[in-house]
Each structure stands twice: as C-alpha cells, then as structure tokens.
Amino acid sequence: MSFFEELDDLLRGPLDLVPLINGAVYSWGFWLFGAPVWKCFVVSVLVFAASKLHYGRRVLSRLGVLVMIAAMFMWAEVIPAPGELMQRARAVMAEFQP
C-alpha cells in the first residue's frame, strides 16, 4: 500500500476513537509538562496518524518508537538537549566529589 493509499484510508470511513484518544492523551501530557500549544497540537496529529495507520505495529521497530518518543520530548523542550543534560550531570557529580 502506498503512502497516498494509506492517507486515503486514514481519511475514509467512520471516526476511530482509539487513535483520537491516543493523540489527545499525548497532547495533554505534553501540555501538562509545559510545552507550547502548537507543539502539543503537532504531537497530537502525529500520534493520531501513526496510531490510525498502525505504524507502531507494522513499520516502526520498538527502538524506533523509543527514539521517536525521546526526540518528541526534546523537541517540545520538556527535557533539555543532550549536551545541556550532560553539563548538568557533570555539575551534580562535581558537587559530590570531595
């Protein structure tokens, strides 16, 4: 099935509540952590599309899903970038050394 056929399948038929709820839960979670509203909306749309098209089960491997989730948290600025996170970890470790 090509991308356009899958997109047509996404927009056709009755509204499926499970992907819609998945998107809403992810969006609400990002909003709760303080991400801007537009980023919450983008995450919601991506999660809805991936859930509706069953990408979590068919195309993405488990590691790919974890990388995608971690990248979304960094993109939404919920957690700091890896370089900044490393600097914070070094600063904390330096405080515990005699």
Question: pLDDT, tens digit, for every residue of 48-72?
Answer: 888 777 765 555 455 556 667 777 7
Contact 47, 22 (CB under 8 A): yes
Tell me, yes or no, if the pTM score tops 0.75: no
24: nearest Cα among 12, 16, 58 = 16
Structural domains in the chain (count) = 1
Segment 29-43, tens digit of pLDDT: 778 777 889 988 988
Residue type, 76: A
What is the residue range of 35's domain? 3-96
